[in-house]
Amino acid sequence: MPRCSKRTRGAATGDVGVPGATAIDAQQHKRSRNTSSRRHSKAEDSSFSAKKCLAWFKEYTTVSEPDILGPEGMEKFCEDIGVDPENVVMLVIAYKMGAKQMGYFTQEEWLKGLTELQCDSVHKLQMKLDYLKSLLNDPYVFKAVYRYSYDFARDKEQRSLDTATARALLGVLLPRWALRPALGEFLQREGAARRYRVVNRDQWCNILEFSRTVDNQLLHYDADGAWPVMLDEFVEWLRAERAERAGGS
């Protein structure tokens, strides 16, 4: 029996007889299905999964301490996201998590911070690194991160921040501050080192204010201002050092 053409079959059923219509419809359906599948996949990639985020956290913990990401896990975490542990963006990540101790993230802190950032994978967090660093351009956010870093970095058995840690932290937070190297040198000198073994909270907060208001030449320094004695002594020492160098040249 002879085969019917597509035109003949279409006419017999009342359809419009367009040559190849069945094949075209099939291709359009396949294309539509593929597009829908891609959209669905993209939506899945962009959505946040707490379960996936928690599974990611577990990659950095141990059997003995499943709810704490410790120093070894932190090192691997930094390697995975491609960030040096001393990069300021790590401090911003810790700030977002509300982490209480340097070198450690608890499961609760991890979920809090990464839920806010909507990150449940290495790739997603990497995509947010520039954004996190840009937050520091806002002086109010920077001030909050700066103040947060004091409690985050201090030894929890001490009420104050040891001076060596304070100097290192200033290098992370204020790397471009012109007077930072001089302040670090002052704090390491024999006399000052004995008097200032630790930096208290008031001194720490005032260092930021000092860096924002006092110029490199100390022209805007007000001796009658309410600066901590430590900064008064620093200015006195620095002026004497500069005068001595100028006299010897």
CATH number at residue 182: 1.10.238.200
Mean pLDDT of all residues in 70-81: 97
Domain boundary among 109, 137, 165: 137
Across the chain, where does the E strand assignment appear?
Answer: 68-69, 105-106, 161-162, 198-199
Question: Of residues 7 and 224, which shows the higher confidence score?
Answer: 224
Question: Is residue 148 over pLDDT 80?
Answer: yes
**Mean of pLDDT values over 39-61:** 81
Query: In terms of residue numbers, what domain contains 150?
Result: 139-248
Domain count, the chain: 2
* Residue 209, domain member (yes or no): yes
- Regarding whether 158 and 115 lie in a shared domain, the answer is no
> pTM higher than 0.75, yes or no?
yes
What band does 70 get if pLDDT is binned at 50, 70 and 90?
Answer: very high
Indicate if 232 and 244 belong to the same structural domain: yes
Kindly state whether residues 123 and 155 are assigned to the same domain: no
Last residue of a domain, one of 102, 137, 172: 137
Report the amino acid identity of residue 170: L
| Pair 148, 220 in one domain | yes
Query: For 173-219, what is each residue's pLDDT tens digit?
Result: 999 999 999 999 999 998 888 899 999 999 999 999 999 999 999 99
What pLDDT does residue 28 have?
55
For residues 88 and 141, the answer to whether their CB atoms sit within 8 Å is: no
- For residue range 150-181, list pLDDT tens digits in order: 999 999 889 999 999 999 999 999 999 999 99
Residue 24 located in a structural domain: no
CB 172 within 8 A of CB 88: yes
Whose CA is closest to 228, among 189, 197, 201, 190? 201
What local confidence, expressed as pLDDT, does residue 190 receive? 81
- β pairing state of 198-199 and 161-162: antiparallel
Please list, in sequence order, all residues whose beta carbon lies within 8 angstroms of the beta carbon of residue 78, skipping any fewer than 6 positions away: 84, 85, 90
Residue 171 and residue 218 in one domain:
yes
> Is residue 243 included in any domain, yes or no?
yes
Classify residue 10: in a domain, yes or no.
Answer: no
Q: Are residues 109 and 148 in the same domain?
A: no
Domain-located, residue 26: no
Cα gap 65→35, rounded to integer Å: 45
Q: Do 118 and 154 belong to one domain?
A: no
Q: Give the burial class of 47: count Cβ atoms within 10 A of its Cβ; 0-12 exposed, 13-18 middle, 19 or more buried.
A: exposed
Q: What is the pLDDT of residues 7-46, one digit of tens each?
A: 434 433 344 344 444 554 555 555 555 544 444 444 446 7
- Output the DSSP codes for 189-201: SHHHHHH-SEE-H
CA distance 177 to 207: 11
